[in-house]
Amino acid sequence: MLYLSISMPNMSFKAFIDYLTLEKKYSVHTVTAYRKDLDDFLSFAEVGYGYEGIEEVNYSVIRSWIVSLVEKGIANRSINRKVSSLKSYYRFLLKTGQIEVNPLAKHKALKIPKKVQVPFSQTEIENVIALLREEEGFEGVRNRLIVELFYATGMRRAELVGLKMHSISMAEGIVKVLGKRNKERRIPLLPSLMESLELYLEERSKLPKIEDNDTLLLSKKGVKLYETLVYRVINSYFSKASEKVKKSPHILRHSFATHLLNEGADLNAVKELLGHASLASTQVYTHNNMAQLKQVYRDAHPRNSK
């Protein structure tokens, strides 16, 4: 395992990385992000202030770092994530008795403007699926399955590419999804999705060569799909059916949640399906449901002027 590239491959940092990996069970991607954030900060502290370790830094240096990130035009959300990585490291040092005070204990995150993510309409999604039904061959069938998996399960892009053959149980009618922190959740499969799965598995079995037998979704070369390809598939097909600026797998996940809530699904049930750790994360999807409710109210209430 690689550690920070400057002067931080010390025992404290190694123990912190082990803590994130083994105890917190963070993904490789998340741990890599923590490493990079800490590396960036230490570089700033070393070059600008001569510090050789994060443990010695005070809040004024951290504040200067934050100001420098703002001046570089980095988004507040990204800055907050970087500071959160640093704060987690200090909490670890405090917990293990290596420092007495967390310099970020009273730090307040930068304000983030709320962005309303506009979901695809049900018509747009049905139009894309209808378009995909006309396509034949392995890639056409696979791309249709990708769209249907996103919309019928609400899974994340990384979760989709990580699906294994044993993740699907046709007998039970479920898909087992391995989410963040290796937490598994079971999502029911719609009959239409099971049909698409059967069709894909039939086409998959006809591939001349399969390099990765365990992975469910493959390229035509028989290797595991990569996330960028999945993004291109979604963006390409929805560009033919939608005028929305953002056309990504996450918007399909957003559409899944919004449409369920619009049809009266329980917020806690949607939370479990999405794999959210807290209800607050799921509540961001309720704005569309509320907008629809307000429109129904305005249209139906006798006191509202027509």
Break the chain into its structural domains and give their ranges: 11-95, 122-297
pLDDT at 2: 33
Supply the pLDDT for residue 305. Answer: 58
Q: Which residues face 169 on adjacent strands?
A: 174
Q: Which of 87, 253, 254, 271 is catalytic?
A: 253
Q: pLDDT tens digits for 191-232?
A: 999 999 999 999 999 999 999 999 999 999 999 999 999 999
Q: Mean pLDDT, the chain, as a whole number?
A: 87
* pLDDT band at residue 48 using 50, 70 and 90 as cut-offs: confident
Looking at residue 304, what is its pLDDT?
A: 67
Q: Which of 87, 254, 259, 276 is catalytic?
A: 276
Q: Residue 41's closest CA among 4, 77, 11, 91?
A: 4
For the segment 52-78, the average pLDDT, to the nearest whole number, is 90
- What pLDDT is attached to residue 207? 96
Report residue 13's pLDDT band, with 50, 70 and 90 as the boundaries: confident
Active site residue 25: no
Identify whether 180 is a catalytic site residue. yes
Q: Over 50: is that where the pLDDT of 249 sits?
A: yes
Q: What is the pTM of this model?
A: 0.66
User: Given a cut of 60, is residue 289 above it in pLDDT?
Assistant: no
Burial class for 282, CB neighbours closer than 10 Å (0-12, 13-18, 19+):
buried
Distance CA 23, CA 42 (A): 24
Using DSSP, state whether 254 is helix, strand or coil. helix
Name the token pair of 6. 């400057």
Cβ atoms of residues 142 and 236 within 8 Å: no
Does 285 participate in catalysis according to the annotation? yes
Q: Token pair of 290, please?
A: 């509320």
**Could you tell me if 109 and 83 are in contact, meaning their C-beta atoms sit under 8 angstroms apart?**
yes
Annotated catalytic residue within 91, 176, 180, 287: 180
Crossing angle between the packed helical segments 286-300 and 249-262, to the nearest 10 degrees:
40
pLDDT digits (tens, 9 = 90+) for 14-47: 889 999 998 888 888 889 999 999 999 989 988 8
User: Distance between CA atoms of 8 and 195, rounded to whole angstroms?
Assistant: 52
Annotated catalytic residue 297: no
Annotated catalytic residue, options 142, 144, 156, 254: 156
Nearest in space to 109 (alpha carbons), one of 84, 73, 75, 74: 84
* pLDDT range class, residue 116, cuts 50, 70, 90: low
* Residue closest to 96 by CA, chosen among 57, 55, 62: 55
Higher-confidence residue of 84 and 180: namely 84
Least confident piece of the model among 57-61, 127-131, 235-239, 300-304:
300-304
The pLDDT of residue 182 is: 85
Enclosing H/E stretch for 184: strand 184-188
Catalytic residue chosen out of the listed positions 176, 185, 250, 287: 250
Convert 208-229 to b/e letters by CB count within 10 Å (16 or more is b).
eeeeeeebbbbbeeeeebeeee
Catalytic-labelled residue, pool 26, 51, 151, 285:
285
pLDDT at 69: 95
Q: Residue 78 is inside which H or E element, if any?
A: helix 76-95
CATH class of 122-297: mainly alpha
Asked whether the predicted pLDDT for residue 3 surpasses 60, the reply is no
Please give the average per-residue pLDDT across 181-186, as a whole number.
89
